[in-house]
Amino acid sequence: MEVKKQITSDLLTENPQASQRSQAPHRVLPYCWKGMTAEQRAAIRKTQETQRQEKKEQRRAEKSLEAEWGCQTRRLAEAALELEEQEKQLCAEFRRGLGSFNRELAKEQQAQQNYLNSVIYTNQPTAQYYLQFNTSSR
- At 54-74, the pLDDT tens digits run 999 999 999 999 999 999 999
Together in a domain, 28 and 66: no
Together in a domain, 67 and 14: no
Q: Is residue 123 part of a domain?
A: no
How confident is the model over 69-117, as pLDDT tens digits? 999 999 999 999 999 999 999 999 999 999 999 999 999 999 999 999 9
Q: Is residue 73 part of a domain?
A: yes
Can you tell me the distance from the alpha carbon of 46 to that of 61, in angstroms, rounded to the nearest whole number?
22
| Backbone φ, ψ for residue 37 (5° rounding) | -80, 170
Domain count, the chain: 2
Together in a domain, 42 and 84: yes
The pTM of this model reads 0.49
Is residue 37 a contact partner of residue 16, using CB atoms and an 8 Å limit?
yes
Together in a domain, 1 and 65: no
- Supply the range of the domain harboring residue 51: 38-116
Together in a domain, 78 and 98: yes
3-state helix, strand, coil in the chain (%, to 5): 75, 0, 20
Together in a domain, 44 and 112: yes
